[in-house]
Structure formats: C-alpha cells, structure tokens
Structure 1
Amino acid sequence: MSDTALLSTTDRRAATDSPLLGVLADRWSPRGFDADASIDEVKLASALEAARWSPSANNSQPWRFIVARRGTGEFDSIVLNLRGFNREWAERAGALVVAVAETETADGTPVHFAAYDLGQAMAHFSVQAHHDGLHVHQMGGIEREGLSAAFGLESRFVPLTVTAVGTLGGVESLSDAVQERESAPRVRRPLAESVVLSA
C-alpha cells in the first residue's frame, strides 16, 4: 500500500475540543474502497436497522432506501447518476444506497421535516456502519431526476443523496486529485462559529 493509503487509515481521528464517543471521533468519509471485497450483508443490515430506528417526527418515517450491490445493473444505474469525480471512486464501493425523502404523503400533504428525518436516518446508518467496521461516504453530487427515472419513483419521493458503503481499501488506483483529498487534514470551523446563542 502506498504512503497515501496508509495515511488514510491511521490519521483520520478528529481533533475534538470536547470528548466524543470513539465511533464518532473516528468516523470519516473515505473514497478509497476495496473493489474486491463484497459487502458484508450482516453489517449492511445492521446499518439499515439503525436507520430504521432513528428519530422520526410523529413516527412518520419519511425515508426510503434503494440498496444496490456492486456487480448489479441497479448499482451501475446509480453510478451513471453520480456527478463529476464521484464516479471515479464510488464504483469501487461494495454497495450504493440512494436515500430518498418522502416529501408528500399519498394524499398530497407536504412532509416539511422529510429531509431532516432522512438526514438523521443516514447519520444513524453511518455511525452503525463505522462501528461495525464498514466505511461510508455520502454524496450530494447526484442526478436526482435521473435516479427517479431509473427506479420509477413517484414525484413525492425525492432522492437526496447517494451513500457509498464498503470495506476500506487503498487509493493507489485513484487519481492524484482524489488521493490528495484523502490525505488532507480533517478540519471543522470552531464550535463558537456554529453556536449562535448559548444562554
């Protein structure tokens, strides 16, 4: 493995100002997946179960998931609907998950918190997956209309993200630009810039 690949697995822990659970401090979003490793179905099921049990306003659960394993036509359809350089690395993941928000009920009532609840579900998914040894990278650079057409979604179901999930691998086969992103320091703005009021 190259030095860049080794850096990806050893220097990713977040430098936090306050103590965090290890699974949260260690969670990160790699682009270097092992293209030879199939998805661990038990671990994938646990991640989806964590998403199922995430908080939901009025228990409405306004989320749907399209889960496609590498090597299937459905997986290839998702890859075709990724934007930019996401295609370069995401096709190496063991599975791709389209996170879909139910923005209206069947009778046309708007679900104003759909995106919020879906985000919580995917956060639970990512933490459980990381806890179990899988790695996750969520992407917003997707073709929403293309995904809707590919999977025959009703207009009230809106794809918001695609998540790559799988086994961590090296980055030697990826472009120099992607390798540079993988080895860049993890940074966040100071907490004081995010907390607008703390009375």
Structure 2
Amino acid sequence: MSKPTVPSGTSDHRADSSAALHPLIADRWSPRNLDPTAELTMEQLRPLFEAARWAPSWGNSQPARYLVGIRGTETFDRIAATLSRGNKAWAPAAAALVIGVAVVLDEEGRPLPYGEYGLGLATQNLVLQAVAEGLVAHQMAGFDAAAIAEEFGLPDSVEPRVAIAVGTLAQPDTGPLDLRERDAKPRRRRALDELVSGEAWGTPAF
C-alpha cells in the first residue's frame, strides 16, 4: 500500500536544534488540524505497533498494551467518547484513535517495575514510526481512564495512560481556523544548558 501524502509545509515545524537530528525526530510534532477524510487500514497501522513491540523494557517485561480503532468503527467511537471536551473538538478527525495501556502488576499480582516507563518508550517508537509512514500522531493526557477501563473491561493489572490520535495533516488553508492558528505556533523547547548538568546539578554540561 502506498503511504499517505504529507502536505507541503510540514518542514516548517522541523525542530530548531543545536545539533543535527535524525529527520524522524526533527520532523515529529503534534498537530491538531487533521484531515477528516483521510483513511487508514489496520494493515497500514501494523508497522506502528510493530515498532512499539520492539521497544526496550525493564527485564524485557514488555508492559505496553494498546487499544486501537479506525474511524468509522464502534471501537473508534467508544474511545472518542472518553476524550476530554477539548480533545473531542479535534481528535475525531483522526484516522485512528489509540489508547496506550501500561501493565503495572505481574502475573502473580506483584507491582511491575517501570511499567509506565516501558509504555512511554514503546509509544515513542510508535510515534516515530508514524512519522516514517508519512503520518502524524498526537498524544493526549485528556481522556477518562476510568471510563476506558470500564468500557473495554480492563483488568486491575493494567492502567490506561495515554490517548493517541493518528492521521494525516489537513491540506494547507483548510480546517477550522482555531486549529490552524494553534498548529502555526512555533515549537519551543528549553535550551540544553537548562536540561543537562555536568559537574554539579545546575552546572550546564553544554
């Protein structure tokens, strides 16, 4: 299957970095103005979850689990219903909605170390693979985890931690004006001298 076409102008959001980054990292961003007509199949989504499957994890515990629905399915609608009001305003235009779930108890009911961290690593793999496939993926904290657990019958050993909208960018100058304005804002990050210490805490390493 051919990959979705990325609308022109995507490079406008390339990371302004102090060192050369791999394009998958430099071009990853979280737009909200998605194409409501773009469609994905489960086979087109397979590489994203395969990438997640190969993420590192503590003791190879592999704590990342996912729920996924493509637009037009009941699963998609059930996930969309749990989103916060703000996210409901734009995320249903995604081609797929995903819930990332962390295994927090092992098979004997004991706490599983670093389950949430493992889910984070796997989800970053998923998001970067989405970029490689010509897609965008916007991660969201704004959803009702308790509603997801009840709706999908999740066991006590797992916890929903993140919602992800996967799709393609809307074509330039299309879509709601408020979303276009939010997406047009420049990307910002703290400088390395605030993030990485060397000789002592707060002493910049770079």
Q: Same fold (TM over 0.5)?
A: yes
Partner of 1:3: none
Q: CA deviation at 1:84?
A: 2.7
Amino acid in the other structure paired with 1:174:
P
Q: CA deviation at 1:173?
A: 3.3
CA distance 1:8–1:140, shift in 2 (3 Å):
farther
* 2:131 matches 1:130: yes
Partner of 1:173: 175
CA distance in 1: counterparts of 2:177 and 2:140, whole angstroms? 18
Q: Deviations over 1:124-164 (max 9, x none)?
A: 01111101101110101111101111101012210000101
Q: Deviations over 1:59-113 (max 9, x none)?
A: 1101111011111111111111111311111101110110000011131110120
Which SS does the other structure have where 2:93 is aligned?
coil
CA distance 1:175–1:107, shift in 2 (3 Å):
farther
Identity %: 40
Q: How does 1:1-199 map to 2 (within 5 A)?
A: 9-170=10-171, 172-174=174-176, 176=178, 178-197=179-198
Partner of 2:3: none
CA distance in 2: counterparts of 1:155 and 1:179, whole angstroms? 40
CA distance in 1: counterparts of 2:128 and 2:100, whole angstroms? 16
Amino acid in the other structure paired with 2:29:
W
Which SS does the other structure have where 1:85 is aligned?
helix
Which SS does the other structure have where 2:13 is aligned?
coil
TM value normalised by structure 2: 0.87
CA distance in 1: counterparts of 2:114 and 2:37, whole angstroms? 38
Amino acid in the other structure paired with 2:186:
P
CA distance in 2: counterparts of 1:158 and 1:192, whole angstroms? 35
CA distance in 2: counterparts of 1:148 and 1:196, whole angstroms? 40
Q: CA deviation at 1:11?
A: 1.1
- Note if contact 1:8-1:182 (Cα within 8 Å) is conserved in structure 2: no
CA distance 1:65–1:119, shift in 2 (3 Å):
same
- Note if contact 2:10-2:27 (Cα within 8 Å) is conserved in structure 1: no
TM value normalised by structure 1: 0.90
- Note if contact 1:43-1:134 (Cα within 8 Å) is conserved in structure 2: no
CA distance in 2: counterparts of 1:109 and 1:96, whole angstroms? 30
